[in-house]
Structures are given as C-alpha cells and as structure tokens.
Amino acid sequence: MNKNAGNLQTWTQWGAILLLLIAVTPLLALSAFNHPSPVDDYCYIDTVFKYSWPEAMYFYYTGWTGRYFSILLNHTNPLLFHWFGGFKVIPPFLILGITSAVFLFFRKTLQQTSARAALSITGIITFLYVMALPSPAEAFYWMAAFSTYTFANIFTVLWIISTTAWYHTTDQPSRKRIEILSCFFVFAIIGSSETNLLIICLLIGSWWVYRLLYFRKIDYFMVTTVVLATICLLFFFLAPGNSARLDGNPLSGDIITSAIASFRKLGQLLWAWSNQTPLLFFSVIWWLILDNRTLRTSHYLSAPVWLVMLLYIGILTAQLFPSYYGIGIEPTPRVINCVYLFFLLGWFFIIALIKSFAVKHNIQVPDRLVIALAVLTLLFPVRNYKVIAASNTLSMLYTDWLSGKAAAFDHEMSERYAMIRASNDQEITLPPIQNRPWSLYIGDIADSHWWVKCTAGYFGKETIHITDSPTK
C-alpha cells in the first residue's frame, strides 16, 4: 500500500470513529431521563406483587407466550425492587453492549486488524443504525421491548464470536468456558422471541452445513448445541400461551402468504435503506479501510460467499416472518430494529468477504476506481449530506436532548411519582405528561385500561385518572 493510500485509510478510520461518537452521545445522554413505561412495564411487576415471582411468570408462560427468557427479565425489572433509577442505568449498558458486540465481531473476524480499524467499522454501522432506527425507545429505553429483542441481538452476535473462537482455542479450560457461555447464549436467545429464535436456528443450521460440507466432521460441541437448542425449542413451542395467542388472531397461520409478505417487506426495506441512507458511500469507505494483509491471513473470511449470502437473506426474511404468521400484522418497529441491525452487520461482513476473495485470488481493484465510486455515491442515488441532515431519528434524538424536552419529561415523571405517593386516596387524578420526547416516550397511563389497572395496582391504588389537557 503506498503512502497516499495509507494516509487515506487512516483519515477514513478516524472519521468513522467520529461518527460513532455522534451516534452514541445522544443515546447515552437521553438515558439519564428515562423512566418505566406504563405500557407493560408495571403490569409484569404488579402481577408479581399480587401473586408471586414464580407464579407470575408461570401465568404469562401458560396464558400468553413461550418467551421464557424475556418473561424472566420482564418480571425481574427494576420496579420489582422499587428502583426507578434502574431504567436510567440499563440503557447505557445496552447501547455500549451493541457497539461492543459489533466491535468484537469485526476484531475477531478480521484477524490481526488494528483496534482502530475495528472501531471504525463499529462507527460506520452504529451511525447508520441510529440514523434510520425505526424506534430508539423500543431498542434501548422501553423494558418490555429491549428485554425481548435487544438483549437477544447482543447475545446472537456474541454467540457467533464464541462459537468461532471455540475452534481456534486449544486450551481446554478456555474451551470449557466458551462452551458454557455459548450454551447460555443459545438458551437466552431461543427464549427471548420468535424473531431471535429463527435467527439462531438458521445460524446453527448453516454452521452444521459448513462443517459437514467443508470439513466432513461432527464434533461434540456441535451435538451439544443442537441438543440444547432442541430442548429449548420444545420448551418454547409447547408453552400453552402460544396457542392462546395464535387463536386470538384469525389472520395468522398462513405460511405461504406470510412468506410472500416477508419477502415483499424485505425488498421495501432494502430499497429504503440503500437509497435513503449513505449506505453505499460508507460501503466504499469500508472497502478502503480494509487492510489487504489482514484479509489474506484471516481464516474467518474463508467461508463460501454463496452460503453466507443465503444465510444473510434467510436471517433477514425470517425476522419478518413471525409477525405475519403469528399475529397477522406488519412487523412492529422493534422487529424492524432487529432486521436493520443484522442487515448492516451482514452487509459489511459480506463486503469484507468479497474483498478477501479478491485479495486471495490476486484480483486488483485500483484505489482510484474505489475513490471515484465513493464520489459517485455522494451524488447518486442520494445526496448524503442532505440525508444525514434530514435523518428523522438522529435529529429527534438531538432535539429531545438539547431542547430540554427530555429533561422536562424527567421532571414531570418525578413529580407524578411524588403526587401518587403523597396521596392517601385510593382513587387519584393526575395531569397528563405535557412533554413527550418520542425518543423515550411509548405511551401514557390513560391510553389503555390495562395500563391504568397495572400502574394503579403497582402503587397500591384502586385506579388512576388522567385529566384531559393539550399535550406538547
């Protein structure tokens, strides 16, 4: 690599790290103003207080869903300990958890790469993710959503890292620790949601295909993982709550229609993400950042491109399928959050895989051509600086934070708690929340009779009324 190319690579790496800071800063800042949502968060703990911790979880398992791990997390949320501050503490761990998982994924797959290079792709992916994130509240701030999806997303990436690390670790105690960790990830992922369940099943299946076709081997780690996954799947799908949920949705259960709808939705999402974000520009930047020497020696980039591509499309489509098949509706923003994360992760991994193939087969791609492509992607299909400036999610995060709206929301919520605790009446009336930062806000008590009942029950009241008043 000549000096100019080396300088260009260094500058692009530092620029990508700056993007990481731009994306993560408002997310971390807004965490300080987060609160439990009346949407489900109180219901889980109100059920625990009325019955018991095991009985409440059994009630949900038999009456609503087989998501045993997310049931565990939701019934152990900070409200169980009357710790409202916990809702300000958990989001930073999730935000840093996703960025750390992405960093470790590329640091591991791109062997001998520098920490700065791995941090740069983390910056690119995080920036693109936050820019077009359908719902930051459902990704990081709403307990009922992030306990079902975000934790599982992090565990899925870490499972990939731990599984690949097992085959390149010779120390037996280290191998045993990796096995235990990997088994925990499988258990937690399958028990979190149908979306993540399908992802891990596809990953395990493709891992078996790869090992059988290219190595002609079956090892005990593979067998252990499949046995554990089978047990977890049985525990998930045999839950009586699944039947109750499906029976209540007449549009669910049509496999062909659901599959067609999933592919159609995926096509719409891919078109939007490639045309309404600077994805293509950053794809070229990533190509420049990748170091040829690293690509030539990394055995993690030896997987066949066709298998990775099939797995990639399968994972993206599978995440959309449960919404159509299970409940007969369009995927919710929290589901699209997951699809978008794995879309970005897979997209940039495949770029590294393709460049690795080119390097190993001595296929030369001139730097000038790559730079010319970078310039073209700034002009077509979108003018990226306008896209970034107009990013609804990114601008919303900064606006909610810097305008003081999130701080005002935090103040109003604290006042509401004080009013509830100060009243000795069983029936109380509260003013509505005037400041609603949509990066944090999901809904208010009065939006559903269930949320009124659960919130009132949690605070030891019979009912709560919200006065009618215009909201901001």
Q: What is the pLDDT of residue 330?
A: 86
Decide if pLDDT at 412 tops 60.
yes
Decide if pLDDT at 461 tops 70.
yes
* Model confidence, pTM: 0.91
| Average pLDDT of span 44-70 | 93
Summarised one tens digit per residue, pLDDT across range 327-369 is: 677 899 999 999 999 999 999 999 989 888 888 877 776 666 6
Peptide bond into 250 cis (omega under 30): no
User: Can you read off the two tokens belonging to residue 317?
Assistant: 């489509």
Q: What is the pLDDT of residue 376?
A: 67
179-202 CB burial, b ≥16 within 10 A, e <16: bebbbebbbbbbbbbbbbbbbbbb
Summarised one tens digit per residue, pLDDT across range 221-235 is: 999 999 999 999 999
Q: 3-class DSSP state for residue 20?
A: helix
Give me the numbers of helices (H) and strands (E) for the chain, helices first please.
23, 2
Q: What is the pLDDT of residue 2?
A: 52
Q: What is the pLDDT of residue 125?
A: 95
| Average pLDDT of span 133-161 | 96
Q: What is the pLDDT of residue 378?
A: 61
User: Predicted confidence band at 471 (pLDDT cuts at 50, 70, 90)?
Assistant: very low
| Average pLDDT of span 239-268 | 77
Q: What is the pLDDT of residue 464?
A: 92
> Distance (Å, rounded) from C-alpha 267 to C-alpha 249?
26
Question: Which among 434, 443, 440 has a CA at the least distance from the CA of 416?
Answer: 434
Q: What is the pLDDT of residue 364?
A: 73
> Distance (Å, rounded) from C-alpha 291 to C-alpha 110?
9
Q: What is the pLDDT of residue 3?
A: 53
- Strongest mean pLDDT among 353-367, 407-421, 435-449: 407-421
DSSP structural state of residue 139? I
Instruction: Give, in degrees to the nearest 5, the angle at Cα 331 between 330 and 333.
Output: 125
Query: 83 near 35, Cβ under 8 Å?
Result: no
Decide if pLDDT at 149 tops 80.
yes
Query: 269 near 227, Cβ under 8 Å?
Result: no
| Average pLDDT of span 159-183 | 93
By percentage, how much of the chain surpasses pLDDT 70? 89
Between 236 and 301, residue with greater pLDDT: 236
Summarised one tens digit per residue, pLDDT across range 76-116 is: 999 999 999 999 999 999 999 999 999 999 988 887 667 88
| Average pLDDT of span 122-128 | 94
Query: 309 near 303, Cβ under 8 Å?
Result: no
> What's the whole-number average pLDDT of the chain?
87
| Average pLDDT of span 207-218 | 90
Q: What is the pLDDT of residue 375?
A: 65
Summarised one tens digit per residue, pLDDT across range 311-331 is: 999 999 999 998 888 767 789
> Distance (Å, rounded) from C-alpha 366 to C-alpha 363?
10
Beta strands in 318-460 (DSSP E): 427-430
User: Predicted confidence band at 252 (pLDDT cuts at 50, 70, 90)?
Assistant: low
DSSP structural state of residue 79? G
